Amino acid sequence: MNTLSAENKYREGLAALSAGRAEEASELFEKAMRAERRHNVTQPQMRYLSYFGLSVALAQGANKDALRACEMAVRKEVYNPDLFLNLGKVYTMAGRMSKALTIFSKGLKLDPGHRGLRLAMKNLDRRGRVSVGWLDRSHPVNTLLGRMRR
């Protein structure tokens, strides 16, 4: 398996991820990273690691390994807005909305027109949990309690 093969595994992983097969995608991204290691690549592709973290989070939940992979990728390539998008998505899955908001904002500073980041930012629910769960969010009791909590 050469570096071209690593890139092919990465592309297969992206296809599997977009088809909703996160478990398969994580295996393909891992194969891409292994192929690079076998060929002693001096500059490993952080996108492989980032998408590996995202696919693990989608398949198994936002666990420490998924977060660690995405965080490391962003630290190594602070100029790649796609990596910020993946990390923000994993933070969102982990319920860490304020952290996700910060990451999406940093990514948008790099590329203000990034469609994925703009959509993620738009869809991020910045509101807290409803105070009284069995009442509608717009119910006066929830509105009052929400204002008091804020």
For the stretch 80-109, pLDDT in tens is 999 999 999 999 999 898 899 999 999 999
d(CA 91, CA 67): 7
Residue 1 pLDDT level (bands cut at 50, 70, 90): very low
- The predicted model scores a pTM of 0.81
Fold exhibited by the domain 3-149:
1.25.40
38, 12 Cβ separation under 8 angstroms: no
Residue 126 pLDDT level (bands cut at 50, 70, 90): low
Residue 127 pLDDT level (bands cut at 50, 70, 90): low
Question: What is the predicted pLDDT for the residue at 3?
Answer: 66
d(CA 77, CA 46): 7
Question: What is the predicted pLDDT for the residue at 5?
Answer: 86
Delimit the domains of the chain by residue range.
3-149
